[in-house]
Structure 1
Amino acid sequence: MSNRLTTDFWVSAYLNRLRLANIPAFVTSKGDPTAGVVMVKLNTLDGQAVAYQRSFDLMSGERAWIVLSEGEERQVDEAITKQLSFDPDLWVIEVEDKLGRHLLDQEGLT
């Protein structure tokens, strides 16, 4: 039996952690509940955004959040839309925070 968390469980836990920090977030695309990939869009509410996706480092075996796209929100949205066209099982979570907080660097979310 695998000890890997299902995607919907991870998303629920992440949204709850954001809620506890008073950071608004919502799911804009719901993918496969068991094994879908998660992308996080950070909207800083000033016309700018960053899209993060998890990457697997083959050398270390570690998973890390990397920047897929950064800049004007429209451009970031276009990059996310492109990813959705390749992967219909993709989850997209939009986090809205003027201070740029996303909590992805906290223990348990990396």
Structure 2
Amino acid sequence: MRLKSAIFVAALIRRAAVEGAYAVVVRRGAEEAGAIFVKVSRLDGTAALYGPAPQTAFDESYPSDRKFSVVVEAGRPEADADARIAREMKFDPDIFVVEIEDRAGRHFLDLAAP
């Protein structure tokens, strides 16, 4: 069984805090199954954006966990990540957006193999 999006987001924020990073929910999505996007700001004007991995990244028909893929590469201007988030919100208004501020650029996510 897959965790509800709201629970996953709460756990992600807690994990970032435990590791010494600052994380906040910028936009609340659908509690049950809203897509989750994570923006990682390095506090130098650059950011990375991570979003749900495509279904092809999973072996089974319905994944039991969440995996993410890179949407905007690390080191790009924050405006690139913000523009992509705006496009995603037009496509799906029920997304969660979490922002992590960490100079080391840590995301605390399980990434799917490229």
Aligned Cα root-mean-square deviation (Å): 1.7
Name the counterpart of 2:11.
13
1:1-110 matches, cutoff 5 A: 3-58=1-56, 60-61=59-60, 64-70=67-73, 71-105=76-110
Q: TM-score, normalised by structure 1?
A: 0.86
Q: Which moved more, 1:79-88 or 1:63-72?
A: 63-72
Q: Which amino acid aligns with 2:85?
A: I
Q: Which runs of 5+ in 1 are unaligned?
A: none
Deviation digits for residues 50-72 of structure 1, max 9, x if unmatched? 11012134263465321112311
Distance 1:16 1:48 in 2: 23
SS in 1 for 2:67: strand
Q: Which runs of 5+ in 2 are unaligned?
A: none
Q: TM-score, normalised by structure 2?
A: 0.83
Deviation digits for residues 63-91 of structure 1, max 9, x if unmatched? 53211123110111011111111111100
Relative contact order, CA 8 A, sep 6+: which one is greater?
A: 2
Identity %: 35
